[in-house]
Amino acid sequence: MSTNYKAPVDDYVFLLHDVIAPTAPHALGGMARDDTRQVLQQAAHFFEKVWAPLDGPGDEEGCHFDNGAVRTPSGYLAGYAALCEAGWNRVSVPEESGGAGLPEGIDQAVREFSASACNSLGLYAILTAGAHATVRRTGEPWMLEHVVPAMVEGRWAGTMCLTEPHCGTDLRLMKTRAVSQPDGSWRLSGTKIFISGGDQDLTENVIHLVLAKVPGEDGRIRDDLSTVRLFLVPKRVVDPDSGTLGGSNGVVVAGIEHKMGLKGSATCALSFEHALAYPLRESNQPGSTQRKSSAGMSGMFDMMNSARLVTGLQALSSASRAYGHAANYARERLAGRAAKAEDRTGGTADPIVVHPDVRRLLLKQASFLEAARALALHVTALLDEPDEALRANRNAIGSLLTPVIKAFFSDRSFESANDAMQLMGGHGYIRDNGVEQLVRDCRIFQLYEGANGVQALDLVLRKLPAGGGRALAGFLDMVDATAWEAAQREPLRAHADALRQAAQDIRACGKWLADPSRSPYDAGAASSDFLAMMGIVASAWMWLRMSDVALGLLPDAENGTFLRRKLELARFWFARELPLVPVLRQRVETGAACLMALPADQF
């Protein structure tokens, strides 16, 4: 039974050139189809051959913590060095910063390939990319000259440090402080936990982006966000004039966590002991403005929003590899006979792929994964809109869908990985065949970068009312426009009508949530179901777009198998997933009464 990883090159070429680029040409930056395929084939070969073999052994070995330092699993150091040498860690970084300057759509494909091949190892590079992007937007000139190039090359790594032992989501409760010194420098002290990549043996330095509070004139730390700032804190001292590395900077690794999954990624507790820190400036990212009380952490907000999108993609990546295992198993495993005699093979048993319930599990996985891949590309294109006349509206829609990408993707990816295990039965449950690890790895993404319940609250309490509901209206206008266009093709008319009705259900829920007479608890009670509605409808939107394109390409296609497969996956989503929307609407409109009636002491 094959468990090798196969990167979805054909899918990305189709999505980028046929689905996304016609309405968002900047997603490809003028790249020709052959060039896209060549780049992605090279990336696929690297991650399939170099990184994928490291995944299972890295999970078995895990990270080591000895004498205050972290050692990654065997093979990680060579694998990371090979990544940096080949340049796959800097695909979309601007050329002036040392990168290849390729479009973000290509970068998404490469990130998925890397995460599917070895998600634990990929985290070190992904976190570094997010960190140096933040420094490029908020750093001082000396950081752009010395810090960013070292991070882009892969000689230095990066992290983001938010969580503390006593607080996670509620950053008002942070105790880490940064104090200005008489010589104009800053010193930072405090403890941060759950820091992915907080230490490792892959790079010569680690650049920590740390949230800390600046004490008031009375020396006190206040429980609000008004004094929060983002600081750059290197593991080893960096000379701002020359970029030369010095000794330790008072960043002490207190230990590493023993985790359920992603065992090759070192999750550290860090103690900052009077560490030299450098304040970062306000972000210059379009649309990054925050409420005044938290303006000092705008750079971290940018990094967190980017990390939400990446987290959704990482979850999808683990689930995609699990699906590959399950599909191979279903084609090869023999058990029972097909219900129709004409579908039976000549042997004593048939491959289990002939059985309807096995197909249900496979179609459920594949239809989610391929719609999610398309939606992630589309949201990235919305957030990167270069046309000033369109930017504000499209950025708002992209921002609206960001918590959906993170939460819906990670919820469904964990479910998909479990479906892969279910299909494989005992062979999925044991460690030998890889799926058991992928289920464990996939679980964390529902918790990373703000747990999914927090993402749902962000959607209904902040994203929906922003701009008077303009983003939701814009999203649904896009959905309706796609439905109207697809309805011109008779084979897609029923899909288009169903999508329009589902969009109406979302509009109705949006109005219900905006009603000022609602109980203060109603938004929280409805938020997770509303986010699920958004994810299902956004995925159906992508399937309708892909179906419209596929039908248009079929008459001239040399081999229509790929396109006909898309149409069948869309058929499954509209038949089995979209009908859940009115049920979710009913749950949304039930309100909070049944959740809040039971006294707290009876739980």
The Cα–Cα gap between 219 and 240 comes to 28
Alpha-carbon distance values, 483 to 535, 546, 554 (Å) = 17, 12, 20
Whether residue 331 contacts residue 454, with contact meaning beta carbons closer than 8 Å, is answered with: no
- Best CA proximity match to 231, nearest among 247, 252, 212: 212
Query: Any residues with CB less than 8 A from the CB of 584 and at least 6 apart, and which?
Result: 505, 529, 530, 532, 533, 536
| Residues noted as catalytic | 449
What backbone torsions phi and psi does residue 98 show, to the nearest 5 degrees? 100, 5
DSSP-H helix ranges across 384-488: 388-424, 426-429, 435-443, 452-458, 470-486
Q: Which two tokens stand for residue 37?
A: 């395929």
Residue with tokens 């299902």: 536
Report the sign of the C-alpha dihedral through residues 509, 513, 516, 518, in that order. positive
Rounded to 5 degrees, φ, ψ at 62 are 70, -175
- Contact indicator for 148, 122 with CB cutoff of 8 Å: no
- What is the C-alpha separation between 48 and 111, in angstroms, rounded? 13
DSSP string, 569-601: HHHHIIIIITTHHHHHHHHHTT-SHHHHSS-GG
Q: What is the CA radius of gyration of the chain?
A: 24
Q: Using CB atoms within 10 A of its CB, is residue 69 exposed (0-12), middle (13-18) or buried (19+)? A: exposed
Q: Residues near 409 by Cβ (< 8 Å), separated by ≥ 6?
A: 311, 312, 313, 315, 316, 372, 376, 445, 535
Residue with tokens 């990168």: 99
List Cβ neighbours of 543 (8 Å cut-off, separation of 6 or more): 367, 371, 495, 569, 570, 573, 574
Q: What is the rounded CA–CA span in Å between residue 560 and residue 14?
A: 13
Distance CA 85, CA 48 (A): 17
CA distances from 15 to 42, 88, 108, 249, 326 (A): 18, 21, 12, 46, 24
Q: Following DSSP, what letter does each residue of 458-494 receive, concatenated?
A: HIIIIITTGGGGHHHHHHHHHHHHHHHHHTTSGGGHH
